[in-house]
Structure 1
Amino acid sequence: MTTVAESIVDALATHGVTQMWGVVGDALNPVTDAIRKDDRVEWIGVRHEEAAAFAVSAQAQLDGRIGVCMGTVGPGSIHLLNGLYDAKKSHAPVLAICGQVPSEEMGSDFFQEVDNDVLFADVAVFCGTVTSPSQMPLLLEQAVNAAYAHSGVAVLTLPGDLGDMAIPDGARPATFAPSAQWAAAPERQIAEAARVLQDADKVTLLVGKGAQEGRQEVLDLARTLQAPMVLSLKAKEGLEHDNPFEVGQSGLIGNPAAAHAMDDCDVLFLVGTDFPYRDWYPTGKTVIQLDARQAHIGRRTAVGHALVGDVAETLRLLNPRLTPVTDSSHLQKATGEYASWKDRQRALVDPAYEKKSLIGKVRGVFDNPDDRIRPEILAAAVDRHAAPDAILTADTGMSTVWLSRFVHLGAGRRLLGSFNLGSMANAMPQALGAQALDRNRQVVSFSGDGGLMMLLGDLRTAVTYGLNVKVVVFDNGRLGMVKLEQEQGGLPEWGTELDNPDIAAVATALGLQARRVENPGDVDEAVRWAFATDGPVLLDVVTNPEEVSVPPKPTISQGWGFAIAKMKESIESR
């Protein structure tokens, strides 16, 4: 006899799922017992279901196989929700198995009952509740196939009384459909784009994660057009290294070279990107957009010429139609400005920066009066000492800014973050998922103190399951990005201060090896120690809360707002 729960676990294990994450509970006891009896699947019990959803989403993004998390009955299912929304917006195939009250009690407002179909209606591409063993394996197949087909979240709800029921004799095992094969854009669209590009004087490429599988084709395109290449943050992975056309990021985390490259062109070519910030798109440009998802075309900026198809396949047909451009002045201006900006940024990573120049001394007086560690120093140290194939995760906010600007993603490095949902608390659980996927690979979490404290209990999960993560904490005692947003709007900082404990001491109590770093001159050695130490490690680095991340195109209103805010803060502090 095979039960419903056993059939689910067996089918997923046969498919290649090696781990399931969640919190055990009554309605899912048959499923966790089936996992216990199946040597192919490891159960990882987290302290909060949200961490489970973040972890399996990270795994799905790294290896493409469906991630599986579990939450039992109402509260556990609700706790999954934020991590599942991140999976949805990151286009990660994830299956959430949710326990439900006994079937005879459904609809009676029973203890812990919630309506999962309503709860997950917006986040899931599939929601189904098992109401009879005879529905298996059909419902499981539909759930997994939908998650793959739409690169999203599927929710399978299992009432507490059905998991132990036997499936009908002779029921076939579940099988999952093969993945689809993307195709090139239609010939008419390619011909039109080629005509526009041939007539253009200055082309700039804005390239996103959707172009990663077409790296060589994108480089060939930039070379042919002598076009600077602005990368989205997610496109740093795979496209930043060995790229003479790259000029960094746009948006608030970006730099002036990228902003000017977009402003100075007459044709802006969006390649595999859904870059969401409309204010950072230039106006008055001819825009071409190439994306495999038709729904992405034109939803950020007006697009004159659309290419709907796979990036690599489309560019293989487009590139031979283009005559190489001989005038490289647009490209050289952008790359030269980018190199100059990077030189200025490098000066900030010197622990003695504030003693070596007049500008450094002035900055030290105004924005670092307590001589705390500049976050740039920490990010650069991680970049120097992290493994060439390290997986890096970043919390939303200032941690992402410093990673974007000071960590170079070579050919072997991977990057994860909540770059579409923008959730707090994502970096550490994503690092847990990545580390569990490959326990021999280095995984580094760029954690903000605010984000880390949200899911602090799951630091213990690293200890329990021997996950060798390196958690680097930018401990500035602030919700740093919110502070910056308030001040740029002319508001005094309020509600952003965090009364943190000694985070290193807390981590030590939780079983990690940990250090607290308060001196700029100690950062390099501390990072070296963290990466050389076996087991989970936390580095609590006390950084400067007043560090300002200047946007690529600072406006007069932002500068004036910042000045007003600082005056208000000074007056109120007296």
Structure 2
Amino acid sequence: MTTVAEQIVDALSQHKVTTAWGVVGDALNPITDAIRRNDEIEWIGVRHEEAAAFAAGAQAQLTGRLGVCMGTVGPGSVHLLNGLYDAKKSHAPVLAICGQVPTPDIGSDFFQEVNNDVLFSDVAVFAHTVTAASQMPYLLEQAVNAAMAEEGVAVLTVPGDVGSLDVENARRPQFAPYAAPAAAPDVQVSAAADVLNEAENVTLLVGMGARDARGEVLELAERLQSPMVVTLKAKEGLEKDNPYQVGQTGLIGNPAAAKALDDADVLVMLGTDFPYRNWYPKDKTVIQLDNRIEHIGRRVGVQHSLVGHVQPTVKELLKRLAGDRSAKHLEKARKSFATWQKHQNKLADPDHDDSILGKIRSIGDNPDERIRPEIVAAALHEHAASDAIFTTDTGMSTVWLSRFVTMTGDRRLLGSYNLGSMANAMPQALGAQALDRHRQVIACCGDGGLMMLLGDLRTAVTYGLPVKFVVHNNGRLGMVKLEQEEGGLPEFGTELDNPNIAEVATAMGVKSTRVTDPDSLDDAVREALDTDGPVLLDVVTNPDEVSLPPKVTPAEAWGFAIAKSTEFIESA
């Protein structure tokens, strides 16, 4: 005979799950004990269940396989929610196994009782409670199949008394195979080809749905002589050695990308659900290719829909496209992009503030001569391994990485780019590192994000996860500060009274260095990346560094001026 708990754990190990993340406790005891006796799944006990969900979601995104996290009765399960919402919005298949009060007490407002099926109803594609052993393995199969098919979150709640019950139907669970990628229908492809063959200036907006179609997308850009605007989540597959890409658009983007979109006659969206409507060009013919029909047209009006996967659809599209295009539109965009990059690279020079222009600039925006965050990102790009995995906290850490770290080689990139949560970089890095303790993993943390889930810094030590944590310590919630000032408001509530983060990390068992001198940063980054075990760099950066969006409206410029004037007067 096998128990409910044993059947769940054995089935997950057969499904190639290698890690389970969570906090042990009461109702989970039968399941965690089954993990203890299973040689294939490693249990990693975190200090906060939110970190468990972020870590499981990171593993799912990196592998395409099921990530698993656990929370016990009531609060333990509630704590999973934020990380699970990130998995939902990132289309990451995650199974959350949650504890519940004993079945006779369900519905009695028992101690710690929470109605999990209701609690998780918005975040999950499947949420059900096992109330009898006879429901197994059917509910487990449904949960895993739903998570994989819909690339989302499934929640299976197991009361403490149910986990230890014997399963009479002890057959091994059978999970459905993955669906094969499929091209859009011929009639849709032909209609799109007709439009593209007549178009003069075409710009591609390419997202993560095209990351596995690099060769086909590059051939399409060549055939159409199109500049390629690459979303942040598509950097890792499409940025390197790409003679057509012009970076990102949106708040973290650059003027060349924005202009490439505005100058197009036809916009082609490939595997992207880029959410910011204000950054789409106006009055263009739009072709959108996506395998999720619900994505079509929800950001911008679409005249020609292609419902299918990018790689097979673009292959069919290429068969119908004529060549011999003018390169004028592409060359203009690439020239503008190169000019912007040259200017940005000057900011990433450690000696920038020693130049005449740098000294003048620093009087206004860096009077304390702190390290400019551009330098930090540039040093990481220079010294990181060609297959490093980067995670970034939401906010300014993401801005600097997007601009100065190129996804060369086999580098990967993770962040909370759809949910926009704080505190994601550190637990996502833990998840990534647990997949391969020999691969370099770098967490680009904001000081606010790291402090929010600081306890799980110790998890890296406990389980031998050699993550390199690079903290942009500007004593601020930087993105909020910028938002306030662009809106004409003086900075308020964003200052962080941080301890010496390096000393705190040292006390937690992490090798740590505090960096305050731009001239010592490069050596500090190289040494940290070459050191065994988890390492934290506490880099004291300039809190007044301004990241201008590609297009600054007069209202934003005026608002920023008013805000800075108010801040100056109030500080005088």
TM class, shorter-length: over 0.9
How far apart in 1 are the matches of 2:319 and 2:360? 54
Kept after mapping to 1: 8 A contact 2:457/2:505: yes
How far apart in 2 are the matches of 1:462 and 1:121? 32
Aligned residue for 1:199? Answer: 198
- Structure 2 counterpart of 1:311, which letter? V
Kept after mapping to 1: 8 A contact 2:423/2:450: yes
How far apart in 2 are the matches of 1:325 and 1:556? 41
Aligned residue for 2:255? Answer: 256
Aligned residue for 2:242? Answer: 243
- Measure how far apart 1:69 and its partner are: 0.4
Q: Is 2:121 aligned against 1:121?
A: yes
Aligned residue for 1:563? Answer: 561
Aligned residue for 2:536? Answer: 538
How far apart in 2 are the matches of 1:19 and 1:272? 30
Q: Is 2:372 aligned against 1:406?
A: no
Q: What's the CA shift string for 1:169-195, capped at 9, x where partnerless?
A: x53111100001121001110110000
- Measure how far apart 1:325 and its partner are: 3.5
Residue pairs, 1:221-232, within 5 angstroms? 221-232=220-231
Q: What's the CA shift string for 1:359-383, capped at 9, x where partnerless?
A: x122100000100000000000000
Aligned residue for 1:393? Answer: 391
- Measure how far apart 1:118 and its partner are: 1.0
Aligned residue for 1:100? Answer: 100
Residue pairs, 1:475-494, within 5 angstroms? 475-494=473-492
From 439, 444, 456, give the equivalent of 1:446: 444
How far apart in 1 are the matches of 2:104 and 2:356? 75
- Structure 1 counterpart of 2:154, which letter? A
Residue pairs, 1:410-489, within 5 angstroms? 410-489=408-487
- Structure 2 counterpart of 1:220, which letter? E
Aligned residue for 1:151? Answer: 151
- Measure how far apart 1:350 and its partner are: 1.2
Q: Is 2:30 aligned against 1:23?
A: no
How far apart in 1 are the matches of 2:356 and 2:432? 42
How far apart in 1 are the matches of 2:41 and 2:235? 33
Q: What's the CA shift string for 1:3-32, capped at 9, x where partnerless?
A: 110110011111111111100000100001
Residue pairs, 1:118-517, within 5 angstroms? 118-168=118-168, 170-358=169-357, 360-517=358-515
Q: What's the CA shift string for 1:388-424, capped at 9, x where partnerless?
A: 0000000000000000000000131000000000000
How far apart in 2 are the matches of 1:384 and 1:407? 8
- Measure how far apart 1:39 and its partner are: 1.2
Q: What's the CA shift string for 1:524-557, capped at 9, x where partnerless?
A: 0100110011000000000000000011011111
- Structure 2 counterpart of 1:490, which letter? G
Kept after mapping to 2: 8 A contact 1:238/1:411: no
Q: What's the CA shift string for 1:71-114, capped at 9, x where partnerless?
A: 00110000000000000000000000000000000001100001
Kept after mapping to 1: 8 A contact 2:89/2:419: yes
- Measure how far apart 1:272 and its partner are: 0.6
- Structure 1 counterpart of 2:268, which letter? F
How far apart in 1 are the matches of 2:385 and 2:343? 25
From 494, 515, 518, give the equivalent of 2:516: 518
SS at the partner of 1:188?
Answer: helix
How far apart in 2 are the matches of 1:35 and 1:504? 35
TM-score w.r.t. length of structure 1 = 0.99
Identity across the alignment (%): 70
Q: What's the CA shift string for 1:115-145, capped at 9, x where partnerless?
A: 1011101000001100100111000000000
SS at the partner of 1:73?
Answer: coil
CA RMSD of aligned residues (A): 0.7
Q: What's the CA shift string for 1:295-344, capped at 9, x where partnerless?
A: 00000000011000010000111012111143101000000000010000
- Structure 2 counterpart of 1:9, which letter? V
SS at the partner of 2:325?
Answer: coil
How far apart in 2 are the matches of 1:379 and 1:91? 27
How far apart in 2 are the matches of 1:442 and 1:216? 26
How far apart in 2 are the matches of 1:52 and 1:357? 49
Q: What's the CA shift string for 1:237-278, capped at 9, x where partnerless?
A: 110011000000000000000000000111011111000000
Kept after mapping to 2: 8 A contact 1:348/1:377: yes
Kept after mapping to 2: 8 A contact 1:205/1:270: yes
Q: What's the CA shift string for 1:34-76, capped at 9, x where partnerless?
A: 0111111111000000000000100011111101100001100
How far apart in 1 are the matches of 2:526 and 2:409? 22
How far apart in 2 are the matches of 1:268 and 1:17? 40
SS at the partner of 2:301?
Answer: coil
- Measure how far apart 1:480 and its partner are: 0.2
- Measure how far apart 1:286 and its partner are: 0.5
- Structure 1 counterpart of 2:384, which letter? A
How far apart in 1 are the matches of 2:308 and 2:221? 19
Q: What's the CA shift string for 1:469-491, capped at 9, x where partnerless?
A: 00000000000000000000000
Runs of 5+ unmatched residues, structure 1: none
Runs of 5+ unmatched residues, structure 2: none
- Measure how far apart 1:357 and its partner are: 3.0
TM-score w.r.t. length of structure 2 = 0.99
Kept after mapping to 2: 8 A contact 1:475/1:541: yes
* Range moving further from structure 2, 68-77 or 325-334: 325-334
Aligned residue for 1:7? Answer: 7
How far apart in 1 are the matches of 2:183 and 2:401? 34
- Structure 2 counterpart of 1:35, which letter? I
How far apart in 2 are the matches of 1:148 and 1:458? 28
> Which portions of structure 1, spanning 4 or more consecutive aligned residues, are displaced by more than 6 angstroms?
none
Aligned residue for 2:110? Answer: 110
Q: How many residues align?
A: 572
- Structure 2 counterpart of 1:43, which letter? W
